[in-house]
Amino acid sequence: MEIWVHGMVSLILAAVLYPAYGWQASFVLIGGVLIDIDHYIWYVLKYRKLGFRDCYRHFTADGKANNYKDVTGVLIIFHTIEFLAVMAILSAFSALALLFTIGLVFHFFLDLLWLYLYHKRFIADHSLLHWIYRNRIQKA
Ligand SMILES: [Zn+2]
């Protein structure tokens, strides 16, 4: 999903939660928008390049052009079910973690909607354990 859509939805969500949580509602934006930094982390580790624009193009225009061949099966760590599980557990103990997780859940929902509407398949691997398992099999 485009980053501006995540930004708009998270901003609306933060505004709705602001009366109850005050400035802490801004953590919805971190969970809802900034988690996409994991694409950049993966790009830097994979290609040993720091170009942020190149990374963005790699996941958007280039991906679209080659049917996401180069990014299929990649591990974007904050988009995994395991990360969501950890955040859900932390949410029981911290309002900040809860607000982050609310943003994260909406982010996941928007990404899933985008995948369903335009691709009918997953592109990245959304499980750390599955990704480790799959890469072990391929190397064996
Ligand atoms: Zn995302």
Residue 1: pLDDT over 90: no
Distance 107 CA to ligand 1 centre (A): 6
90-113 per-position pLDDT tens digit? 999 999 999 999 999 999 999 999
Q: Residue 52 burial by CB count (10 A; 0-12/13-18/19+): exposed, middle or buried?
A: exposed
Q: What's the burial of 116, exposed, middle or buried (CB within 10 Å: 0-12/13-18/19+)? A: exposed
- The pTM is what? 0.90
- Summarize the confidence of residues 54-83 as an average pLDDT: 92
Task: List the domain range (segments joined by +) for residue 124.
Answer: 3-139
In 3-state terms, what secondary structure has residue 125? strand
Expressed in angstroms and rounded, the spacing between residue 1 Cα and the centre of ligand 1 is 6
Q: Based on the structure, what is the number of domains in the chain?
A: 1
